[in-house]
Structure 1
Amino acid sequence: MRVPIFQLDAFTTRRFAGNPAAVVVLDHFSDDALLQAVAAENNLAETAFLAFSEGRYRLRWFTPTVEVPLCGHATLAAGAVVLERLEPGRDSVTFDTASGPLTVDREGHAYRMDLPARTVSTVAPSPSLSEALGVTPLETAIDGTNYLALLSGADEVRSLAPDLVAIARLDRIGVVVTAAGDGTYDFVSRYFAPAKGIPEDPVTGGAHCALVPFWKARTGKDAFFAYQASRRGGELNCRLLGDRVQLQGACAFYLEGHIEI
C-alpha cells in the first residue's frame, strides 16, 4: 500500500527548528502493530496517523515505541496538512481523537489549536527526581502523568543535563522543567520522556496544557508567550480559557512524498 506522508517542523516559522512531526494519511487505520512500525521507522518524537471517515478526520499519535493519548505538535502539524494540502479552501478542521474533539484553526500565517487543560497538583519534594535532574526543584507538581519541576531561573532550565536513565525509572512517564522567562518570554521549559521513547522532546504542546494552568496560578495571567528551550527550540502563544488551553504556532513543511507499507 502506497500512502502520502508529510514531515513538518511545528511551533516554528523556519525549517530545522521547532518539533518535527510526520503526518501519514490513510483511508482507514491499519493494524496497530503496522502503525507502530511506521512510527519506529520514522524515528521522530511523534508520527500522526490521519484517516478520513464519514465526513470527519480521525487522528492518532505514536512515538517510536508507544501510542499516546495526546500530542500537541503533531496535532498542529496534522491541521496544517489538512488546511494547506488536503483541503486548502478550509480555515478550520476538527479531529476525533482519544482526547476528544480537537480543533485547529488557521490564524494568519500560523495555526491555533484547542486542547484540554491539565489539572496540576503540588506534591512533596522527590529525592529521586532531584537526583535524576541533578538539581533540587524549588517546587514539584504532577499533572497526572508527568512531574513538573520549577527551577530557579531560565539559565538553569537551559543548562540542565539530567540523567535520562534515572528519569526513565521514575514513577511518572515524563518530567517537565520550567522557570520564569528572562526577557521576551513569560516562561521557559523543557520536557524529558525517555520512558516513552523521547529522550528530550523539542517542543511539547501537551506539556503546555499543564504549564499554562501552573503559571496562571502563580502570576494571575491568562495569556503567555512561552519558549521551549531545547536544542531546536520553539515558541508558543498560550491562553487559558476555562478548562481549555489554546496554543498558537506556525509550521514549516519539510518533506512531502509517499511511503510503502
Structure 2
Amino acid sequence: MNVQELLCFGTVPGGGNAALVVQDDHSSADQRQQFARERNQPACVFVDAAPDGAIVLDYFYPHARSPLCLHATLAAARVLLSPQRPLLTVRTALRGQQLTLTLVDDKVFIRLAPQTPPGVALAPDLPGRLLAAPGVTLASAPTVASVGSPKLLLEVADAAALHALTPDLAAIAAWGAQHGVSGCYAWCRRPDGAHEGRNFNHLDPAQEDSATGVAAGALTVHLGAGLTLYQGGNTGQPCRIVTRRDGENILIGGETAFRSTT
C-alpha cells in the first residue's frame, strides 16, 4: 500500500482540505472503511485498476463510503497526472460515473457532467427545520442540484448569516438519507462577486468540511455559470474552489500540494 497525503483548494501554503490517495491496495470495502476511520482525515480515495484496464476511484469518509468526492479526486489527479500524461479518464467505484482529469499549466482540473438530482418536494418550512432557524428568509428559493452527489442548496442573506448558522445536523442527515441527498450546502453571494458556503453533511460539527467540490459543482449547475467559491472560514482551513463551464460540462479546480508520503 502506498499512501500520499495532499492538501486541496488551500488559499495559503500549508492550508486546504486534506485527502489521502491510496494506491496498490487490495483490501475489501469494510477494510477500507476501517482504514478511513482510523486515519480520520476528511477523505480517502483508493486508486484501483479494473479488469478492463480502467482506473477506478473509490471514496471513503471516516463515517461512510461515498459515490463521489471531488477534493479527493483533485488529490488523485495531482498524483496520477504528469506533463507526459496530462489527460486521464477515470470512473467512480459506486456508480461508474466518468470523470476526466486534466493538467493545464501545472494546475489540475476535473471535468464532469451535471447529473439529474432526485425529485424532492421541498416543503416551505424545510430550510428553517434543517437550519434550526424557524422562519428563516432565504435569498432565493431552495433547490437540489448535482454533479454526482446531490446537494440541497440554501442561499442565505450574507456572510454574517452564513457563519452564524448552527443547523440541526441530525435532521439534515435523516432528511438526506430519506431522499438520497448528500446533506445541504448553505451559501451566499459576496460583495466582490465571489461566493461563500458551508457544507452540512456530518453529525459531528467538528467534522464540517473545509472545501466541498461537489457542492461547488452543484452550485455551478444551479447558477449556470462558473464561479469562485470560498469555504473553510469556520474550520480554520480557508479554501477556494474555482469552477468553469465547458459546454455542457463543468471544470472544477483549485490548489493542490503534497503534505507527506507514508
**Alignment TM class, shorter chain as reference:** 0.7 to 0.9
Contact 2:217 2:243 in 1 (8 A): no
Deviates more, 1:199-208 or 1:139-148: 139-148
**Whole-angstrom distance in 2 between the partners of 1:118 and 1:181:** 27
Moved over 3 A (4+): 13-16, 52-56, 118-126, 195-199
Q: CA deviation at 1:50?
A: 0.5
For the aligned residue pairs, the C-alpha RMSD in angstroms reads 2.6
Q: Choose the corresponding residue for 2:182, options 148, 173, 184.
A: 173
Residue 161 of structure 2: aligned partner: 156
Q: CA deviation at 1:252?
A: 1.3
Normalized against structure 1, the TM-score is what?
Answer: 0.82
**Whole-angstrom distance in 1 between the partners of 2:191 and 2:84:** 40
Residue 22 of structure 2: aligned partner: 24
Structure richer in strand, relative to its length: 1
Ranges in structure 2 where 5+ consecutive residues have no aligned partner: none
Residue 142 of structure 1: aligned partner: 144
Ranges in structure 1 where 5+ consecutive residues have no aligned partner: 217-221
Residue 116 of structure 1: aligned partner: 113
Contact 2:88 2:101 in 1 (8 A): yes
Which amino acid in structure 1 is aligned with residue 218 of structure 2? A
Residue 86 of structure 2: aligned partner: 91
Kindly, what percent of the aligned residue pairs are identical?
27
Change (3 A) 1:16 1:78: same
Normalized against structure 2, the TM-score is what?
Answer: 0.82
Change (3 A) 1:238 1:114: same
Q: CA deviation at 1:65?
A: 2.1
- State the Cα deviation string for residues 105-127 of structure 1 (Å, max 9, x = none): 11223211112224568954542
Q: CA deviation at 1:131?
A: 3.1
Change (3 A) 1:211 1:118: farther
Which amino acid in structure 2 is aligned with residue 174 of structure 1? G
- State the Cα deviation string for residues 14-36 of structure 1 (Å, max 9, x = none): 45422111111025x42111111
- State the Cα deviation string for residues 201-232 of structure 1 (Å, max 9, x = none): 1111111221002222xxxxx32222124421
Tell me, what secondary structure is at the counterpart of 1:142?
strand
Tell me, what secondary structure is at the counterpart of 2:261?
strand
Tell me, what secondary structure is at the counterpart of 1:170?
helix
